[in-house]
Structure 1
């Protein structure tokens, strides 16, 4: 029997539950038509109202089932007979008002989703790498300066102290980078500056955004993608939803900035001007570094003769 999962308004996922449990939640008015549900075999999470017929085949009025649920009247006698597949009774007009819980951001699952391809992600990564590199230089310099002043190393550092400063600076840079990704992924744009420039964003596999700690951890999963000969990154060119290894580990996807919104028609399959410019500049820089390296090796070889 298929196991179901569902997400509440706080974006907390619940499950696995049986179809009968979903039916009970539906009957009690606890499963809003817009609640996202998923079971094995679905490509992505779907609103409850689009799949309820699969769980509630006896629902007599599917059109009514798509309307908003209302909480049953508080004075309903206990043990009253009810149809297990019927909607909850409307609230009494004399009942006290209830506060409406709003989503932070609406997620639309009906439109086509453009997943960000390998080269779009490379372009975004190059931009973010430049920003992070500059921040790391500033932070590393500040740490070295503070330690030097604090311990009075104006006349120079011994090798052990220099190594310790370098280690502290590297750890600070690592944490700074993880915080960079976590902060921007948890923002309203769901994207780092590099991704924003390219027009893409990172979301959960059901289109919902994710918080700081998932973004923070995703950076370390990204390191793992690089440690295995960058195969984890290359997976984006071959997987169905263009996911990398770290996407699969963290249950994320990278999509167009207009995906899962009310305007899916604004998505772009093509790279775009910014991505092309960044990739060309990055390619030229890479070729230049290779030429310099070969020139240096040639000079060393000539000096050896």
Structure 2
């Protein structure tokens, strides 16, 4: 069985996959005309369009049809053939195939491919907590800087300076920035924020598809509902069947391993991972230190 490899937009190699699987990836839009593919026997990586006929993709009628024919031995072929040739045209190779020299057609953007039937590892509460801690740090720093600048501009504009007004501006900026941050990253190619990418998880629709930006916005504001009930909505991720928090149930989303719903489900990891463990230790240490400081301040206040 021929095994194929292909690269993504980041030039990361994927595979091996069977020819049928690569054909399905092309139909799903994961592999495009310009995606570079390779198999044993090819001298170099080739754009998919150059080998498309081998996978049965059609072209305008009247053109010579082509198919991929491995050259196992020069002795079995024309002795005058190109020694570097690893495939050659075969006319009448099947209806709809086309010449690799035909102009490439536009690659219509479609939803990211999702492969069902494999094992799916759901992200539990601890991985999600570690990811959120990283994202909260990023958003906190950005909100403080942007919110502070916005407050200064308002103050200079005649709104005056006041502590509570400053807190209001910073919080409003934080909410707007957080909504955009989570929605944009969850709807992007990786389907994950920097925090989730660090721990190796992503957010998907119930069927494994990438969520839309608007659903991402809704999911962010649904987290407010999870917070309002004493954070129980978040804790539900540790006990529900598919590790869904309350806001996941509201928005029909799942948080899964980064390799879930892909052609490499065997790469999924059930263990926490080094990044998750380190972040959780830091969170626990800082929380414990904060509680000690608080207890110390309460003790000083009680004896003063």
Match of 2:147 in 1: 140
Cα displacement (A) at 1:206: 0.3
Match of 2:42 in 1: none
Q: Deviations over 1:162-185 (max 9, x none)?
A: 433432331121111111101101
Match of 1:271 in 2: 272
- Specify the SS of the correspondent of 1:203: strand
C-alpha change, 1:104 and 1:144, in structure 2 (3 Å) is same
Match of 1:107 in 2: 114
C-alpha change, 1:145 and 1:101, in structure 2 (3 Å) is closer
Match of 2:203 in 1: 202
- Specify the SS of the correspondent of 1:287: helix
1:98-247 to 2 correspondence within 5 Å?
Answer: 103-151=110-158, 153=160, 157=161, 161-247=162-248
Match of 2:261 in 1: 260
How many angstroms apart in 1 are the aligned matches of 2:283 and 2:96? 65
How many angstroms apart in 2 are the aligned matches of 1:102 and 1:172? 33
Give TM-score, length-normalised by structure 1: 0.64
For the Cα contact (< 8 Å) 1:126–1:194, is it kept in 2?
A: yes
For the Cα contact (< 8 Å) 1:195–1:201, is it kept in 2?
A: yes
How many angstroms apart in 1 are the aligned matches of 2:292 and 2:117? 50
C-alpha change, 1:225 and 1:298, in structure 2 (3 Å) is same
Task: List alignment gaps of at least 5 residues for structure 1.
Answer: 1-33, 36-67, 71-90
Q: Deviations over 1:29-78 (max 9, x none)?
A: xxxxx99xxxxxxxxxxxxxxxxxxxxxxxxxxxxxxxx9x9xxxxxxxx
Give TM-score, length-normalised by structure 2: 0.64
- Specify the SS of the correspondent of 1:268: coil
Match of 1:76 in 2: none
For the Cα contact (< 8 Å) 1:143–1:165, is it kept in 2?
A: no
C-alpha change, 1:205 and 1:297, in structure 2 (3 Å) is same
- Specify the SS of the correspondent of 2:127: helix
For the Cα contact (< 8 Å) 1:185–1:210, is it kept in 2?
A: yes
Q: CA RMSD in A?
A: 2.7
For the Cα contact (< 8 Å) 1:200–1:254, is it kept in 2?
A: yes
Cα displacement (A) at 1:137: 0.7
